[in-house]
Amino acid sequence: MSVGARLAGVRFSVPSKILTNADLEKMVDTTDDWIRTRTGIERRHVLSEGESATDIGMAAAQQLFSDGKIDKSSIDALIVATATPEMLFPSTACILTHKLGLNGVPAFDFSAACSGFLYGLSIAKSYIESGTFRSILLVCVEALSRIVDWKDRNTCVLFGDGAGAAVITATEDDRRIRSILIGADGQYQEYLYVPLGGTIAMSGRDVFQVACRKMTEAATQALADAHLTIDDIDLVIPHQANTRIILQVAKQLRIPEDKLFVNIQSYGNTSAASIPIAYREAELAGRVKPGANLLFVAFGGGFTWGSAVLKV
């Protein structure tokens, strides 16, 4: 069997500070019921004063090394998916090489908004299958609380901060990324964007319509490319943006409820970090078994989208 790319381990970290819907009721004109009904979110984690996105990104990555699952010396490259970098340069990835003791390892950031984890898997898969690298650390980290308008009740209730870290390694068995699809279309940019120095602006209805269509199309194509159907999938882990989007995509793909993993209620939308956070929680809950077929699907500002089928 040819060399493929395997998702070898995933961990996550979130800030200790929790912002509940009750807290938001004191900050903006909203209610717990309004937020739950429209988004499914109950609480989210946000960075405290003096805490940085790099801090939680480092914490997520360190877990992979500290529990003995991954040998740090095996890492050939570090890539970071983020829409909220610490600074324009150096990159968050470059900073993390030093903090993690990976000095000299090639590192770079990229941004695909909420599709960042899937774009990162695609990049890692390409590097590994080409023989360029054999082990890649992918860190997805977002500090969305720093770019939210806390006076805009339509957007401030949606987002949380978090980080997910994954190691993708070379493999010659069938436990690998079987197919992956990514795409983008800038014609929709006015529906969801953050101007330089500004805060998140969004047209929720337009995002919903395009997100449901593109996520359904991407997942359908990824399944076809893997020569599988939804019946062959053991668990579907979508980007945790909004329960209405998740349930509509599940309906269109005919995904049974027992095959769907949702944890948006505890974290809100953590953008690129949401799928790795959900994956690890599903794993801890015993819903990710060795040899299982998984489907990931995401959609983000740009617009960007992606889907992947993998055997773990």
Rounded alpha-carbon distances, angstroms, from residue 95 to 49, 86, 111, 226: 20, 9, 16, 36
Tell me the helices (H) and strands (E) count for the chain, helix number first. Answer: 9, 13
Let me know if 239 is a catalytic residue.
yes
User: Which of 21, 45, 140, 239 does the annotation list as catalytic?
Assistant: 239
- The residues, ordered by sequence, that sit 6+ positions from 129 with a Cβ below 8 Å of its Cβ are 2, 3, 4, 5
Let me know if 269 is a catalytic residue.
yes
Rounded alpha-carbon distances, angstroms, from residue 238 to 68, 168, 260: 28, 19, 8
Tracing tokens 């194509």 back to the chain, one arrives at 221
CA distance 141 to 57: 6
The two tokens of residue 196 are: 């330089």
Q: Do residues 100 and 54 touch, judged by C-beta distance below 8 A? A: no
With H, G, I as helix, E, B as strand and everything else as coil, classify residue 13.
strand
Let me know if 21 is a catalytic residue.
no
According to DSSP, the residues that pair with 107 across neighbouring strands are 78
User: Which of 114, 140, 156, 212 does the annotation list as catalytic?
Assistant: 114
Cα angle: 53, vertex 54, 60; to 5 degrees: 95
Active site residues: 114, 239, 269
